[in-house]
Amino acid sequence: MAENLSTDELTERQIADYLTRHPNFFAAHLELLDRLTLVHPHKGTLSLVEMQLERQRNRIKELEAELSIFARLAQQDQAIFLALMPLQQQLSTCTNLAQGIEALNQWAKRWELQQAKILLFNDAWQKHPSLAPSYWLDRKAFELIRLERFGLRRFYLGQLTGREKALLFLPEEYPIGSVACCLLGAKTGGKSTALLLFSARDGRHFHNGQDTMFLQHLVNIVELHLTRWLANYTENL
């Protein structure tokens, strides 16, 4: 059984690599465009062209949402707008979660932070073999932290206990002085879908009482991209 699965995965990669190297393949096999169909989770069976148009429409909606957020931000706080614009440009070019986290991580280091990372709640997204275990966070295990640290808020800034650090960080990511923890996808009172983390070696860098306006705008931007990054791996449950 395991051998068959490995063979199927290898074949899919070979097909994807071949089509990437030969972008004019369908131009020479137009009859395939009429025969190929894809299953959309909400709209049933679609042709390849219909699926491409659907993806383009969705991307246009995403871009409009991005522009709307930054238009409001430019009017409200020019300093935050100028600080976040380079990050937004970088995140827009990322096509998957790993690239998105790396862009966030590099941006965080330019602000003299230790690290940025995103953890996905295990009951909010469908597992995929391309997403390593280090990307996942068990909601039940995190619930005690949420109750003690967050309450009804979406942000926690401060220090963590050794047990809390062990749940959220890998051994090679230590030492952890203080953190900014941001819940993603919890605007409407529903369950959060992911956790955005920033860490600093200085235990006083993040602390209770700090203004979270910058983080709020940052969370809005990351939320715009998260589903798109994960679309290459899995569909949201």
Q: What is the pLDDT of residues 112-152, one digit of tens each?
A: 999 999 999 999 988 888 889 999 999 999 999 999 999 88
Residues 169 and 224 in one domain: yes
pLDDT exceeds 50 at position 10:
yes
Cross-strand bridge partners of residue 120: 136, 194
What's the pLDDT score for residue 63? 57
Residues 175 and 218 in one domain: yes
The answer to whether residues 115 and 178 touch, using CB atoms and an 8 Å cutoff, is: no
23 falls within a domain:
no
Domain around 35: 28-93
Domain boundary among 93, 117, 150: 93
Residues 218 and 157 in one domain: yes
Q: Number of folded domains in the chain?
A: 2
The chain-wide mean pLDDT, for the chain, equals 80
86 falls within a domain:
yes
What's the pLDDT score for residue 119? 97
Other C-beta atoms lying within 10 Å of the C-beta of residue 146: 16
How does DSSP classify residue 25? T
What's the token pair of residue 30?
A: 């137009």
Domain boundary among 93, 116, 137: 93
Residues 87 and 105 in one domain: no
pLDDT digits (tens, 9 = 90+) for 40-97: 565 656 566 666 666 666 666 665 565 565 455 445 555 665 778 888 889 989 999 9
Location of structure tokens 């004019």: 24
5 falls within a domain:
no
**pLDDT (average), residues 170-191:** 87
Residues 216 and 121 in one domain: yes
Rounded Cα distance, 8 and 13, in Å: 9
Residues 89 and 133 in one domain: no
What's the pLDDT score for residue 237? 39
Find, among 193, 129, 199, 194, the residue nearest to 164 by Cα: 199
Half-sphere exposure of 56 (CA within 13 A, CB side): 6
Residues 111 and 181 in one domain: yes
Residues 153 and 39 in one domain: no
Find, among 110, 125, 111, 97, the residue nearest to 196 by Cα: 97
| DSSP result, 132-178 | -GGGEE-HHHHHHHIIIIITT-SEEEE---HHHHHHHS-GGG----E
pTM for the whole structure:
0.67
Domain boundary among 93, 122, 142: 93
33 falls within a domain:
yes
Residues 81 and 157 in one domain: no
13 falls within a domain:
no
What's the pLDDT score for residue 43? 61
Residues 111 and 208 in one domain: yes
What's the token pair of residue 180?
A: 């900014």
| DSSP result, 93-118 | H--SHHHHHHHHHHHHHHTT-SEEEE
**pLDDT (average), residues 98-108:** 94
We report the CATH number of the domain holding residue 191 as 3.30.450.40
Rounded Cα distance, 40 and 54, in Å: 10
The CA distances from residue 175 to 92, 165, 200, in Å, are 31, 10, 9
Specify which of 3-12, 70-79, 125-134, 180-189 reaches the highest per-range mean pLDDT: 125-134
